[in-house]
Structure 1
C-alpha cells in the first residue's frame, strides 16, 4: 500500500492586468524551466483571450479579494491596485495550499534553487523575504541634510508611515530599518503573521493614496513593530540590480563576489524595458566589457 503524501502543498502566485500579461507569461515559462509547482495568477483586468491562454496552460486563475475597508473608487480607477491588496489575503484565498510563494509579474526565475530556498525558509512559519541591504549601489538610508549635524530621514518606510498618519513613536522605530521588498516573499498558510498584516492593512489602507504601497509598509510593521518571525534571504532571491553579465554562462550575475547567478530577477524601476523587448540597457560584464541587454526573460532567451 502506497503511504499518503505528506509533503507540503505548494503554489507560486502572481497577479496582473492586461498590460502585464506578456510579463506573466515569461514568468510562467521561467518557473517551468525549473519546477512543476502549480502556478496561480490573480486576475485584475485580463481580457478573455489572455484568460484562455492561462487556462490552456493549466494555470489557476484567481479572483481578487477586496476587503470592505479598501478604497473602492481607487481600485475601480486602477484595478491593478487589487494585486497589492490581495497579497495580504493569500492564505484565505488559497486554502488548498500550505506554502505560498509570491513573485511579482515583473520578475522571473533564472536559477530554480532560489525558489526551493524560499519555500524552505518559510516552512517553519516565518516570513521568507529579502531586505534591501546591499542590493544596489545607493545610500543605505535616504536622508536630506539640513545643516552640519542635522538631517531629515527620507526612507521609504518613514515617508509612507508619515503618509499613513502613524504616530511618531512608530515612525521612529521603522524609519531607519531596511525595506522588506514585497515583490518576492513566501509564507506558510498557518504563519502567525497573516492576521498582523491584515490588522495593519485595515488601519492604513483607507488612508488616501496608500493602496499602492501599503503591502510593504504592513509587512515592515508586522516584523519590526509586532515582532513577527522572519527569515531573511540574500539579495539573489529578489535581485533588483546593479546588473552584471557573466558572458561565459550568459546569465545575470550577482554584483558581489563570487558573482553567483542571480536567482530571481526583479525588474523594478525598469519601466521602458518591461514595455518591449527591443529596449535595452548597458550592462557591464565580468571581464570588464559591456553588453546591451534587455533583462526580461524573453530578452535573455533571445540573446542566448
Structure 2
C-alpha cells in the first residue's frame, strides 16, 4: 500500500496542464512508490477515462465549506480554493499529502522528497515567494513623505476579507506563501487551523485566493509549525524567470549557484501577445542560458 500521495485538481480547460503534470511525475522511477490522485472540478468523461490509466483515484471536488451561489457564479473550478484543505476526506488511505497545482510540473524529484520529508511530525511543508533576485516583496503607495498605503498581497486580501486590522497588520509585510505546492501529514493539526481560517476568509472575501490567505494566517498568526523549503521547490515563473542549462537540458535558478528547478509553476501565467502559455503550448519566450546565449522556449513540460 502506498503511503504518500500527490494530489492535483483541474477542469476541462486545464486538463492538458494536469496531464503534463502527471507525465512529469511518472517519468521518474521513484514515482512508482507514490500514489497520484485527482480532484475533478469539471473534467469531461473522455478526459477522466484517459486519466484513469495513469492515476490511482479520481474524486469529484465538492464545496466542503458552504459558499453562496452569488459568489460562485457557475465557476465550479473554484472548488480548488476549498477542497484542497480537505484532502484526507477525499483520499483517506494515505499518510502524507503533497498538493501540486495543475499549472506546475516536476523537473527534479529531489523536491518531491523534500516536501514529503518537510511535513514530518505534523509540520507544514511549503515555500515562501521570496529569494535572490526578487526586487519587490511588498507594494506600497507613497502619499506624502513617510506616509504610505500598504498594498501587499496579504494585507490587501485580509482587509477585503474583513479580517481584523490587528491580524492584517501581522500579515502586511510577512513573506507571501504560495499555496500551489504544499505537504501535510494526515493527522497534522495544521488542517484544522487552515480550515477554520478558510471559513472566515470565504465568509468575508472573494473565493479566489481565500485558501491562500487562510494558510498565510495559519502560518503567521496561528504559528503552526512550518518547514520552509527553498524557492526552487516552487519556482513561480511570473515572479522570476529561470535560466536554461543547455549542457544538461534543464531549467535552473538564474543566480549562482544555479540550483536545478525542482517544480516549475506557471501561476498567473506567462503572457505573450495577450496569449497565456498555460492555455497555448505554442507560446515561447526568450530565456537566458548558463552558456551566455538566449534560447526561445516554452516553460511547459515537454517529454
Do these two structures clear the TM 0.5 threshold for a shared fold by scoring above it?
A: yes
Which of the residues 221, 224, 229 maps onto 1:225? Answer: 221
Aligned residue number for residue 248 of structure 2: 249
Pick aligned residue for 1:281 from 263, 285, 303: 285
2:94 paired with 1:97: yes
- In the alignment, structure 1 segments of 5+ residues that lack a partner are none
CA contact (8 A) 1:130 1:237 kept: yes
Picking from 117, 142, 145, the partner of 2:142 is 145
1:87 to 77, 84, 89: 84
* d(CA) in 2 for partners of 1:126, 1:100: 12
Question: What is the distance in 2 between the residues matched to 1:60 and 1:131?
Answer: 30
Whether 2:128 is the aligned partner of 1:131: answer: yes
C-alpha RMSD over aligned residues: 1.5
1:10 lines up with 2:4 in the alignment:
yes
Q: 1:98 to 1:236 in 2, by over 3 A?
A: same
Conserved? CA contact 1:91–1:194, under 8 Å: no
Q: 1:215 aligns with which of 196, 199, 211?
A: 211
Give the deviation of 1:135 after TM superposition.
Answer: 6.3
CA positional deviation for 1:91:
2.3
CA 1:19–1:13 in structure 2 vs 1: closer, same or farther (change >3 Å)? same
Change (3 A) 1:75 1:61: farther
Q: Secondary structure at the match of 1:152?
A: strand
| Structure 2: segments with no counterpart, 5+ residues | 271-275
Matched residue SS, 1:19: coil
Q: Answer whether contact 2:64 2:86 (CA < 8 A) is retained.
A: no
Deviations 1:133-169 (A, max 9, x none): 1165331221111122222211110000010011110
- 1-side partners of 2:285 and 2:133: how far apart? 16
The number of aligned residues is 292
Matched, 1:234 2:233: no
Distance 2:67 2:152 in 1: 25
* Mapped partners of 2:106, 2:55: distance in 1: 19
Per-residue CA deviation, residues 159-212 of structure 1 (Å, 9 max, x unaligned), is 00010011110111111101111010000011111111111111121234x211
Whole-angstrom distance in 1 between the partners of 2:88 and 2:135: 35
Structure 1 counterpart SS, 2:43: coil
Rate the CA distance shift 1:42–1:76 in 2: closer, same or farther, 3 A: farther
Change (3 A) 1:249 1:100: same
Is 1:243–1:252's contact at 8 Å kept on the other side of the alignment?
yes
- Aligned mates of 1:156, 1:52 — CA distance in 2: 39
In structure 2, the partner of 1:202 is 199
Does residue 180 in structure 1 map to residue 174 in structure 2?
Answer: no
What do the CA deviations read for 1:231-279 (whole angstroms, capped 9, x no partner)? 0001010001322111111111012311021000001122511112211
1:110 paired residue number: 107
Shift of residue 74 of structure 1?
3.4
Provide the residue aligned with 1:28 in structure 2.
22
Is the contact between residue 9 and residue 101 of structure 2 (CA under 8 Å) also seen in structure 1? yes
Aligned to 1:190: 187
**Worse-superposed segment, 12-21 or 60-69:** 60-69
Question: TM-score scaled to structure 1, two decimals?
Answer: 0.92
Q: TM-score, normalised by structure 2?
A: 0.92
